Amino acid sequence: MSRAFILLLDSFGLGALPDADKYGDLDANTFGHIAEWAAKEGKPMALPNLERLGLGAAGHKASGEWAPGFSQRDGFTGAWGIAREQSTGKDTQSGHWEIAGVPVLFDWGYFPKTVPSFPKELTDKLQALTGVPGWLANCHASGTTVINDFGDEHVATGKPILYTSADSVLQIAAHEEHFGLERLYAVCEAAYELVKPYNIGRVIARPFTGANGDYKRTSNRHDYAVPPVAPTLLDHVKDAGGDVFALGKISDIYAGQGVTRRILGPDNMALFDRLLEVADEAGDKSLTFVNFVDFDMHFGHRRDVAGYANALHELDARLPAFMAKLKDGDLVVLTADHGCDPTAPGSDHTREYIPMIFFGPNVAPQELPVADTFSDIGATLAKHLGVKPLSNGIAQL
Ligand SMILES: O=P(O)(O)O[C@H]1O[C@H](CO)[C@@H](O)[C@H]1O
Ligand SMILES: [Mn+2]
Ligand SMILES: [Mn+2]
C-alpha cells in the first residue's frame, strides 16, 4: 500500500531566490523574518515538530541564516531540502502547477499598476453583458482595504468593486445582500470568458457583508481559474485509479482537473480536521493535497506578522496527530507555493525558495540537494505511488 500527502502552507517561503531582484524581492524571507520578529518581541518561535523534520536546516540552506529560535543542527527525522521555482511568476497557480509537474513557462497577462488598471474595452464589454451600472476602484489594491474604501459607494450605487494585484487576477468584490451572491458569481463567469484574450490566470469573486464603512469578506469566495495546460500529478493519480482528495483551495487551483473529491473548510484548523479524517479513509494509490490558505490570505497579504507566527504555532502543534495516523508506505511532503513575507513592503507575494520536506514511516532522514524545480516534489510522489512519471522534475527519493 502506498499513499501520498501534500501539506502546502500557502506562501511559506524560506528566503529569496537567486532571481528575486527581478521581482523586487531581494530581501524577502517569509520564515526567517517572522522568526526574527518573534525573537525581537521576546517570544521566540518554537515549532518543535517542524524543526525536528528539518525546517530550521532548510531555512538555513535557503537563506544562509539560522532562524532565531531554531537550535537543532542534526538528528533530523525528515528528508529535508528546498526547491527553486522554474515558472516565471510568483503566483499560486504557477507554484501549484509546477509542484504537480507543469511549470508555467509562458507569461501570464497582468493588469498595470495604473488607475484605471483594466482596459476600457474589457470593462465596457463586461458592463454591457451584465447590466451593472459601472465600476468602482479599478486599480491594484489589497482586498480587505478596498471593500472598506468603496463599500459605502458600492451599496449606494450598485457598482461592483473591481481590483487586481501583482498576480494574474481580476477580482470582483460585491455585497452579498445588496448586490447578491449569485449575481456576483454570474458577473465573474462573464468576466472569466472576457479575460481569456488577456491571458489572465483567475477571476475571483470576493463577496462581503457589513454596513457603514465596516465591511468583512465572507467565506463564499469563488475562483474561476484557467485549467492546467498539461496533465498534472493529479491527473496521473486519477488515471491510475487512485483517489485525489483536494482540500481547501486545491480543486479551484487546478480547475477541478484530476480531482476526485473536493473538501472545503473555513480555516486552517478546520482543514486540518478534514485532513485527519481523510488520513483514516484514503486508500492505496491515493493523493491527499491540502492547501492551508490562511497563511497567505489572512497574514501574508495583510502583512500581519504576529498572526502568521501564531498560525505556524497552531499547525505545528497539530502535526503529531497527523503523524500518528500515518501507515507503512505513506509519504508526506510539507511545502509551499511562493513566499509572502509579512515584513516586506506592499501586500504582494515574494519570489522565494519553498520547503521540500518529506517524511513518513519509511523515509530515511537526509539532506536533499537543492531542487531546480518545484516539480521534483510531484516527481517524487509519482514515483512513490507508481503512477505515470511527470514530464518535468526528477524524483528526490
Ligand atoms: O488582497 P486580496 O484580495 O486578499 O488578494 C490576494 O489574493 C489574490 C489571490 O490569491 C492575490 O492575487 C492577492 O491579490
Ligand atoms: Mn498561494
Ligand atoms: Mn496570495
Minimum CA distance residue for ligand 1 atom 5: 143
One DSSP character per residue, 180-229 reads IHHHHHHHHHHHHHHTGGGT-SEEEEEEEEEETTEEEE-S--EEEEPPPS
Task: Find the 302 Cα to ligand 2 centroid distance in Å.
Answer: 13
Which ligand lies nearest to the CA atom of residue 224 in the structure? 1
CA nearest 202: which of 361, 281, 96? 96
Which ligand lies nearest to the CA atom of residue 163 in the structure? 1
Task: Find the 165 Cα to ligand 1 centroid distance in Å.
Answer: 7
Please give the CATH superfamily to which domain 120-225 belongs. Answer: Phosphopentomutase (3.30.70.1250)
* ipTM > 0.95 (yes/no): yes
Which set of grid coordinates corresponds to residue 273?
A: 480536521
Q: Which residues are annotated as a binding site?
A: 10, 296, 301, 337-338, 349
One DSSP character per residue, 97-131 reads HHHTT----SPPP---SSSS-S-HHHHHHHHHHH-
Per the CB < 8 A criterion, the answer to whether 352 and 63 are in contact is: no
Is pLDDT of 67 > 90?
A: yes
Is pLDDT of 13 > 90?
A: yes
Residues of the chain above pLDDT 90, percent: 99
pLDDT digits (tens, 9 = 90+) for 53-65: 999 999 999 999 9
- Report helix, strand or coil for 350: strand
Is pLDDT of 302 > 90?
A: yes
Query: What residues sit around ligand 3, an ion, with C-beta below 5 angstroms?
Result: 296
Q: Which residues are annotated as a binding site for Mn(2+)?
A: 10, 296, 301, 337-338, 349
pLDDT digits (tens, 9 = 90+) for 328-341: 999 999 999 999 99
pLDDT band at residue 219, thresholds of 50, 70 and 90? confident
Q: Using DSSP, how many helices (H) and how many strands (E) does the chain show?
A: 13, 14
Is the shortest distance between the CB of 169 and ligand 1 below 6 Å? yes
Sorted by where each begins, the domain ranges of the chain are 3-104+229-385, 120-225
Residue 141 alpha carbon, nearest atom of ligand 1? 1
Is pLDDT of 285 > 90?
A: yes
pLDDT digits (tens, 9 = 90+) for 130-173: 999 999 999 999 999 999 999 999 999 999 999 999 999 999 99
Residue with cell 454596513: 211
Across the chain, mean pLDDT equals 97
Is the shortest distance between the CB of 249 and ligand 1 below 6 Å? no
Please state at what angle helix 92-99 crosses helix 375-385, rounded to 10 degrees: 40
Residue 143 alpha carbon, nearest atom of ligand 1? 3
CA angle 233, 235, 237 (to 5 degrees): 70
For residue 286, what are the contacts with CB-CB under 8 A and spacing of at least 6?
3, 4, 237, 242, 243, 244, 245
pLDDT at 258: 98
Residues of the chain above pLDDT 70, percent: 100
Please list, residue by residue across 198-216, b when 16 or more beta carbons sit within 10 angstroms of its beta carbon and e when fewer do: eebbbbbbbbbbbeeeebe
Residue 145 alpha carbon, nearest atom of ligand 1? 1
Is the shortest distance between the CB of 297 and ligand 1 below 6 Å? yes
Fold of 3-104+229-385: Alkaline Phosphatase, subunit A (3.40.720)
